[in-house]
């Protein structure tokens, strides 16, 4: 399949921290010209059946998807899985363990916000949660915007919920090798999500890419909603250096919060191997 495909292989529904349902996302993707779609909720594949059915109804090709939270070098890294068998028990078990810490973490985040003079954030965040197993910082951020503590999501993450700021609860997520293993053992391809977002030194970034590759990872997001044009070039080169396929995805969460809409990204550079070339057998055709 061609590199020049409008593939959007990264977005979120109400099953994690997005605001639209899987069918609403499918319709929006289709309206924006997406030809190959994947829903990649955080640490959760509960929306996959509904997303695949909605894609079929829209006449759009579909790949199963997930975005797994990983701790690597004391930093949170996201690994996207594509084209796996959504009924794989080991993958579901691994994701359930990864999600498990979110409840206590949310209680700790709320405790800290209360100490900083912001009461009621746990209950406030819960009102935005579509899936009780998946309470995230995004839900707290929506509460802080709603109550006018902050003007927008950007301000929330500058002033709260991040390292050194009120409302940050350090957390240990899955191990890199486990996340890659869950995805590949279920027949999927593992992809490093939005690599430019991590605050790594050059050495740490090199370690991430080489260990990811050694564990069986095969792809990296090059064109994503959170990269600049210059970063498309940087990570296109990294993909070639490490022999990784390139992925493309908006990371769309909400019509009101996301800068990049579904499908609204530059195409992958023609010099790269698109990740969907590795997944030809796994694509669910409409
Ligand atoms: P969590 O998995 O609970 O740590 O929440 C992480 C989520 O917070 C990410 O997936 C984003 O949706 C959101 N997030 C993190 N940083 C920012 C930011 N600077 N602006 C907007 N959303 C952010
Ligand atoms: Mn998110
Ligand atoms: Mn992410
Ligand atoms: Mn994401």
Question: Domains of the chain: which residue ranges?
Answer: 7-99+172-282, 102-159
Report residues whose beta carbon is within 6 angstroms of any ligand 1 atom: 17, 42, 69, 136-138, 153-154, 157, 253
Which is the closest atom of ligand 1 to the Cα of 138? 8
Ligand closest to CA 78: 3
Q: What's the pLDDT score for residue 203?
A: 97
* Of 205, 250, 248, nearest in space to 225 by CA: 250
How many angstroms is it from 271 CA to the middle of ligand 1?
A: 31
Architecture of domain 102-159: Orthogonal Bundle (1.10)
Which is the closest atom of ligand 1 to the Cα of 137? 3
How many angstroms is it from 97 CA to the middle of ligand 1?
A: 20
Which is the closest atom of ligand 1 to the Cα of 154? 20
Domains 7-99+172-282 and 102-159 share a fold: no
pLDDT per 10-residue tile (average), the chain, 286 residues: 90 98 98 98 98 98 98 97 98 97 96 97 96 95 98 97 95 97 98 98 98 98 97 98 98 95 96 97 97
Nearest CA to ligand 1 atom 22: 153
Ligand 1 pocket mutation pick from 137, 167, 221 by most atoms within 8 angstroms of CB: 137
Which is the closest atom of ligand 1 to the Cα of 102? 3
Residue position matching structure tokens 């279920």: 186
Q: What's the pLDDT score for residue 1?
A: 64
- Span 7-99+172-282: which CATH code? 3.20.20.140
Nearest CA to ligand 1 atom 5: 137
Q: What's the pLDDT score for residue 2?
A: 80
Percent composition of the chain: helix, strand, coil (DSSP 3-state, to 5):
40, 15, 45
**CA angle (189 as vertex; 274, 282 as ends), nearest 5:** 80
Q: What's the pLDDT score for residue 257?
A: 92
Q: What's the pLDDT score for residue 3?
A: 80
Structure tokens at 213: 């590759």
């Amino acid at each position: 399949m061609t590199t020049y495909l409008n593939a959007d292989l990264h977005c979120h529904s109400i099953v994690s921290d997005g605001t639209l349902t899987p069918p609403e996302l499918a319709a929006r993707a289709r309206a924006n010209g997406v030809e190959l779609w994947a829903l990649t909720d955080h640490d959760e594949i509960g929306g996959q059946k509904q997303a695949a059915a909605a894609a079929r109804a829209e006449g759009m090709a579909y790949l199963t998807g997930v975005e797994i939270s990983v701790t690597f070098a004391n930093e949170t890294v996201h690994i996207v899985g594509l084209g796996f068998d959504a009924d794989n028990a080991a993958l579901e078990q691994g994701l359930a363990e990864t999600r498990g810490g979110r409840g206590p973490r949310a209680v700790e985040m709320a405790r800290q916000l209360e100490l900083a003079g912001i009461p009621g954030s746990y209950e406030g965040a819960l009102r935005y949660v579509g899936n009780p197993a998946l309470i995230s910082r995004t839900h707290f951020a929506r509460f802080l915007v709603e109550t006018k503590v902050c003007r927008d999501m950007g301000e929330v993450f500058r002033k709260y919920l991040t390292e050194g700021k009120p409302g940050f609860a350090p957390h240990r997520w899955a191990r890199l090798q486990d996340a890659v293993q869950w995805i590949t053992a279920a027949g999927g391809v593992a992809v490093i999500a939005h690599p430019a977002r991590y605050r790594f030194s050059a050495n740490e970034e090199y370690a991430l890419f080489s260990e990811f590759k050694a564990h069986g990872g095969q792809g990296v997001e090059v064109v994503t909603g959170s990269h600049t044009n210059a970063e498309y070039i940087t990570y296109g080169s990294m993909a070639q250096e490490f022999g990784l396929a390139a992925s493309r995805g908006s990371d769309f969460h909400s019509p009101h919060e996301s800068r990049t809409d579904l499908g609204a990204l530059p195409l992958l550079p023609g010099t790269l191997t698109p990740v969907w070339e590795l997944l030809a057998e796994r694509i669910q055709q409409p």
